[in-house]
């Protein structure tokens, strides 16, 4: 935990205050970010589908296998629903540009098919945290949507469309910088 930032990102504060039916899954799947997901779960106290404690059960391995394929299969949404996932929290800034493109394609397909519903974006990292509901588990998700424009005047839907169409960086409160390799 030596490299983990001490503040609680806004998405996790929102999760703590939001009543949900099932569990939370975070993208990307993978060893390093999952340690951080476990740490952040201490802020929201909701069940977590993918976190690491040093042991991965077979169900996690099956989800991780699907999540790390290129392209990510649409069936991952069904498997997340089977795992009682109601909220999908996406952290694009944890991925390189090629993997972000794969993730964006999967998200577009999930939204188009009705497997997922976009809820909101939170300012964090260079691309923010994006929150989606997994539809079979969270049919009431529309009540959780944010419709307020950001300080640049773009609505959450406009920011989502910009992100999904080309990895555009949405308005952020602080300075941003990124490097994909040192």
In sequence order, what E strands does the chain have?
A: 23-27, 85-90, 116-122, 129-134
What pLDDT is recorded for position 136? 75
pLDDT in tens, 156-170: 899 899 899 985 666
pLDDT in tens, 123-169: 886 778 999 999 877 777 778 888 888 888 888 899 899 899 985 66
Across residues 19-31, what is the average pLDDT?
A: 91
Q: Is 86 helix (H, G, I), strand (E, B) or coil?
A: strand
User: Of 98, 82, 99, nearest to 27 (Cα)?
Assistant: 99
What pLDDT is recorded for position 148? 87
- Report CA torsion sign: 141, 142, 143, 146: positive
- Does residue 83 register a pLDDT over 90? yes
Length in residues, the chain: 182
Q: Which of 2-11, 52-61, 154-163 has the highest mean pLDDT?
A: 154-163
- Does residue 171 register a pLDDT over 80? no
Q: Is 118 helix (H, G, I), strand (E, B) or coil?
A: strand
Which residue's entry shows tokens 């779960």?
41
What pLDDT is recorded for position 128? 87
């Amino acid at each position: 935990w030596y490299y983990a930032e001490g503040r609680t990102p806004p998405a996790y504060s929102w999760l703590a205050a939001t009543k949900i039916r099932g569990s939370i899954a975070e993208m990307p799947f993978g060893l390093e970010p999952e340690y951080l997901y476990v740490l952040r779960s201490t802020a929201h106290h909701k069940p977590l589908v993918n976190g690491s404690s040093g042991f991965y059960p077979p169900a996690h391995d099956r989800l991780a296998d699907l999540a790390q394929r290129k392209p990510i299969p649409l069936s991952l949404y069904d498997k997340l629903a089977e795992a009682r996932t109601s909220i999908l929290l996406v952290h694009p800034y944890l991925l390189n540009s090629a993997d972000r493109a794969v993730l964006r394609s999967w998200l577009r397909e999930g939204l188009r098919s009705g497997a997922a519903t976009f809820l909101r974006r939170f300012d964090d990292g260079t691309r923010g945290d994006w929150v989606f509901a997994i539809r079979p588990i969270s049919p009431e998700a529309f009540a959780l949507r944010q419709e307020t424009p950001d300080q640049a005047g773009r609505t959450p839907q406009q920011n989502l469309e910009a992100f999904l169409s080309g990895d555009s960086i949405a308005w952020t409160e602080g300075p941003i910088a990124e490097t994909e390799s040192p």
